[in-house]
Chain A
Amino acid sequence: MTLSDMPTTIAQSASALRDGRLTSVQLVSALQTRAAAIDPRLGAFTTQYIDHALAAAAIADRELAAGQDRGPLHGIPLAVKDIVAAKEGPTTASSAVVDPSWWQGQDAPVVARLRAAGAIILGKTTTMEYALGEPDSDQALAQPRCAWDLGRWAGGSSSGSGSGVAAGLMLGAVGTDTGGSVRLPAAFNGITGHKPTFGLVPKSGVHVLGFSLDAVGPMARTARDCALMLDVMAGHDASDASSARVAGGGYAKGLDTPVNLTGLRIGVDLAAVAGRVGCDPATFGVFEAALRVFTDAGAILVPYVAPEWRLCALSAAVVWQVDALTYHHDLLRERWSEFGRGIRAQFIEGMLVTPSDMKAADRVRRQICAHMAQVLDGVDIVMSPTHGTAALLYDERSGSGVDETAFTSLWNLTGGPAISLPMGVTGEGLPLGLQIAGRAFDDGQVLAIADAFQAMTAHHRAMPPIARGEMLS
């Protein structure tokens, strides 16, 4: 089977698995073969569970053949960001500082749910060190590259989940998002990534970056695939104190009835987008074109005043830098020199945050939340680019991560859902992301509007050169 014959989405693969065109073992084997060819250059995986995955796929095939169908994820190969526990092996967090006893032999609840739904866990994906460091070529660890240009960064911190889905090494992946870490790698790699409402998906068994900012979310090629994953991932779990008491689910079914875009009120702040740090004119033009897709379908643009981006990014960064310092405190004393340069620099940033800085960040966060609650009273949804440019050159990151989160951190501060999906490309052919965000627990609406955009456009179907033409056994 060639790549062009191979299903590229979860939804297509689920159909192929049920009509006999494909088995889970064939699918897993094909992706493993592709990973063997590509991943040494791409750096999407920290660890692959090759034998475990094949064994699980064989079981999935037997169950389907016997009429035991666990649902749309049955037999579907997924991967998990390596700050999330899976029972096959230790969680490395792309760090030399690993505590092998942390959740040893256990699945995080979100992984257990995916596994119970029949998903095949292919392995763990690369991240910035503990979701906070930066690419560090001094370390003997996989260096995550953009699937569209290996000279560029995959985005972070769910780096390998983004590049791996884009390159066709997995059909979906679990990411985490504290300031944009699902959405940025989704944008840079031309895939779809959803940051759910804070508390919708349990975070037990997931290393902490920002206690009140972190969200675990699905990354896949389409909004529909994200909905299929979120259906399984969402819902209360008592092991996570911040887990919302909601059932979740029904997101994919919600897409079966096309959303009515006529009269949809889209909040946009074009002046803020144009003036936001690093937002280049090409991105602005592609964003305007994406908005026209919606207005041509009957939606209405409603101007609003966005919070000043630097205040959002600084407020969020103060929270996660101090939270990370707190979470890793004991290990830092004992194993400081083993952490990478980038994450040590971030810990130093946290060390220098004063109590008054923290109070200021907290008060600004409250103001931003109150402001956005008012804004969302007057609109159905808010849109912006996900990032001001396409994937950054590998050494082009700001260091602090603050600039990269100019558009995204707002939604970690408010806790509301936000999705990134492909909206077009730069002159160099690199993908750009559209961010759609909404009210807390309106994840279904965010996904439905993203799905409607993908029904009217083809940007999400583009495959990066590294994935084209690979022969699959």
Chain B
Amino acid sequence: MSQDKARAYADVAAAKLGLPLSEAELQQAAERVVSKQVDFAPLHAAAKTAPIEGELTFQPASAQAGRHD
């Protein structure tokens, strides 16, 4: 992704949330847009598995033990 596109993405993300980022923070965000693609690659790779039991009704392990409401 080009730096311009990353900056445009960061601009839109901040605007959608209404966050008044400074110019330096927008620049920082643009840099993170690019590096996050690398950071999150292992997460996306690991997530590409067959459907997981209980996927639509997930609760933490303590809840799965049937001891929650």
Contact = CB atoms under 8 A, between A and B. Distances in A.
5 nearest A-B pairs in the assembled complex, by CB-CB distance: A415-B60, A360-B47, A440-B62, A363-B47, A415-B62
A349 interface: yes
A393 B14 CA distance: 33
Contact of A351 (B19, B44, B61): B19
Interface in A310-329: 310-311, 314-315, 318, 325, 329
Interface in B26-63: 28-29, 32-33, 36, 39-40, 42-44, 46-47, 49, 52-55, 58-63
Given A244-B62, A351-B17, A441-B65, A366 B42 contact: no
Given A351-B14, A352-B10, A441-B65, A364 B58 contact: no
Contacts of A344: 25
Contact of A314 (B17, B39, B55): B39
Contacts of A200: 62
A364 B47 contact: yes
A441 B39 CA distance: 34
Contacts of A373: 61, 64
B8 interface: no
Interface in A101-122: none
A338 to B, nearest CB: 11
B29 A246 contact: no
Nearest to B40: A357
Contact of A244 (B17, B47, B54, B68): B68
Interface in A13-28: none
B58 A415 contact: no
Given A245-B68, A351-B19, A199 B62 contact: yes
Contacts of B14: 351
B33 to A, nearest CB: 6
A337 B44 contact: no
A198 interface: yes
B43 A311 contact: yes
A200 B63 CA distance: 11
Interface of A: 197-200, 212, 241-242, 244-246, 308, 310-311, 314-315, 318, 325, 329, 332-333, 336-337, 344-345, 347-349, 351-352, 356-357, 359-367, 369-370, 372-373, 413-416, 439-441
Contacts of B63: 198-199, 244, 415
A332 B16 CA distance: 13
Contacts of B25: 344, 348
B36 A361 contact: no
* B10, B53, B61 — most chain A CB neighbours (10 Å): B61
A314 to B, nearest CB: 5
Contact of B17 (A325, A359, A439): A325
B43 A369 contact: no
B17 A332 contact: yes
A367 B17 contact: no
A370 B68 contact: no
A381 to B, nearest CB: 15
B60 A348 contact: no
Given A311-B43, A415-B61, A441-B65, A352 B17 contact: no
A316 to B, nearest CB: 11
Contacts of B47: 359-361, 363-364
Given A332-B19, A440-B62, A370 B28 contact: no
A110 to B, nearest CB: 17
B44 to A, nearest CB: 5
B58 A310 contact: no
Contact of B19 (A199, A311, A333, A413): A333
* A246, A318, A347, A357 — most chain B CB neighbours (10 Å): A357
A332 B63 CA distance: 32
Contacts of B18: 332-333
A212 B58 CA distance: 10
Nearest to B33: A352
A333 B67 contact: no
Contact of B46 (A199, A241, A356, A364): A364
A362 B60 contact: no
Given A336-B21, A363-B46, A369-B61, 19 more contacts: A199-B63, A245-B69, A311-B42, A315-B43, A332-B17, A333-B18, A348-B25, A351-B19, A357-B40, A360-B43, A360-B47, A362-B58, A364-B43, A366-B52, A366-B55, A370-B53, A416-B62, A439-B61, A441-B65
